[in-house]
Amino acid sequence: MAPRTIAPFGPQHPVLPEPIQLKITYEDEKVVDVLPAIGYGHRGIEKACELNEYPKNIYLCERICGICSCIHGITYCEVVERLWPVEIPPRAKFLRTIWSEMSRTHSHLLWLGLLADAFGFESMFMQFWRIREKVLDLLEMTAGQRVTQSISVIGGVRRDLNGEQKKKCIEVLKEVRKESEALIGVLANDYTVKARTVGKGVLSKDQAIALGCAGPTLRASGVCEDCRMQKYQAYGDLEFEPIVETAGDSYARAVVRARETLQAIDLQLEALGKLPAGDINVSVKGNPPANEAIFRSEQPRGEVFYYAKGNGTRNLERLRVRTPTYANIPSLLVMLPGCELADVPIIALSIDPCISCTER
């Protein structure tokens, strides 16, 4: 038996924008064991949410993560609205959906760029991020901010779209779709990309379910589960079918995200076309009763779970946030053993790890 070596992968590594460490045990060039270590950036946001009043927690939850900020704010509002309960106007539901799908589009484009970067395809990386800029510009135009949009309030949304903005969104989204489709075609059919991802980090359907995976990591293993199937917000009025691949490898996870990028643009275009007239929020006064509620929505990385418990006062008794990367980290314990050491960065990247989400 060859001697075993333990090497740290991270917490600082070129493919990891955020700190997580994988303690990799390998024999020759083969990985035989892995132990993830987190805790480099824990912020105690759940505890902080018990100390603030309900509306102020929106700002905290939006800062759980920069990329998923918008959906964190929306999901917090959705779970708190269920404590009263509060029904928000149809236009607000559509607007939440549009901004959520814009977030998914820019998040997936960001990840596709990072994947290209991980191969050393610098030009493709820059092209994906160039397209992504257009989505960020739309977010800035409609929400006022590129990163932390802060559009959700308890009872609806903060901002509306006027006719001109709607027209601009449709025009730019069509451009983004066309450019993304062309670039995704190159990425998905490239020999090197396939050589580095096909058959790497395979997760079977049964393993994905048993390990509680979420989002593209789960759907790339043939499991048809997506929170949008619950038809919350405007999803019940839109043409939506979860995107599923069956190979369960790093390539399948990339393909799911690529197809979801295009699907997210289609959902935005459809929602913009069907945007109903009316109010964008309802007034919510007082404190919610002592009650508890859960709400799950589909982040770019998968299912985010919010639990809220009210106690009749201005403060929450408890808020729990389970983010998709939190669910996907254990899958690395199965994906990595048996792989070549050189494949570790791509496989780790293939779950699209978001550590700031994990370490709320």
Partner 1 sequence: MIENLKEIKKDELLSEVKKYADAKARFVTAVCNDLGDKLEVTYYFNASPGMEMSALRIAVGKDEEVPSLTGIYLTAVLIENEMKETFGLKVKDIAIDFGGHMFLAQDSPVLPMLKEKKEAAGEKGGE
Using CB under 8 A, pick the residue from 212, 247, 279, 282 that binds partner 1: 212
Between 252 and 332, CB nearer to partner 1: 332
What is the C-alpha to C-alpha distance for residues 173 and 153, in angstroms, rounded to an integer?
A: 26
Residue with tokens 């939190």: 326
Within 286-305, which residues bind partner 1 (CB under 8 A)?
291-294, 296, 303, 305
Site string for partner 1, 327-356 (x = CB under 8 A): x-xx--x-----------------------
Residues 6+ apart with CB under 8 A from 63: 45, 69, 148
**Is residue 18 close enough to count as binding partner 1 by CB under 8 A?**
no
CB of residue 209 to partner 1, shortest distance in Å: 5
**Is residue 262 close enough to count as binding partner 1 by CB under 8 A?**
no
**Is residue 225 close enough to count as binding partner 1 by CB under 8 A?**
yes
- Find out whether 93 and 233 touch, Cβ atoms under 8 Å: yes
**Is residue 229 close enough to count as binding partner 1 by CB under 8 A?**
yes
Residue 321: its H or E element:
strand 316-322
| Helix (H), strand (E), coil (C) string for 224-262 | CCCHHHHCCCCHHHCCCCCCCCCCCCHHHHHHHHHHHHH
Report the interhelical angle of 122-143 vs 90-119 (nearest 10°): 160
Comparing CA positions, the residue from 169, 200, 146 lying closest to residue 31 is 200
Q: Which stretch binds partner 1 (CB under 8 A): 71-79, 92-100, 155-163, 203-211?
A: 203-211
CB of residue 320 to partner 1, shortest distance in Å: 5
Site string for partner 1, 28-47 (x = CB under 8 A): -------x--xx--x-x-xx
Residue 329 DSSP class: G
CB of residue 27 to partner 1, shortest distance in Å: 21
Within 13 A of 97's CA, how many CA atoms are on the CB side? 32
**Is residue 187 close enough to count as binding partner 1 by CB under 8 A?**
no
Q: How many residues bind partner 1 (CB under 8 A)?
A: 40
Using CB under 8 A, pick the residue from 12, 162, 230, 246 that binds partner 1: 230
CB of residue 296 to partner 1, shortest distance in Å: 8
Handedness of CA 79, 83, 88, 90 (dihedral sign): positive
- Find out whether 117 and 259 touch, Cβ atoms under 8 Å: no
What is the C-alpha to C-alpha distance for residues 300 and 68, in angstroms, rounded to an integer?
A: 7
Burial of 157 from C-beta contacts in 10 A (0-12 / 13-18 / 19+):
buried
Strand pairing partners for 6? Answer: 25
Within 65-94, which residues bind partner 1 (CB under 8 A)?
none
Between 184 and 293, CB nearer to partner 1: 293
Between 15 and 209, CB nearer to partner 1: 209
**Is residue 23 close enough to count as binding partner 1 by CB under 8 A?**
no
Binding site for partner 1 (CB under 8 A): 35, 38-39, 42, 44, 46-47, 206, 209-213, 218, 223-227, 229-230, 291-294, 296, 303, 305, 307, 309, 317-318, 320, 322, 326-327, 329-330, 333, 359
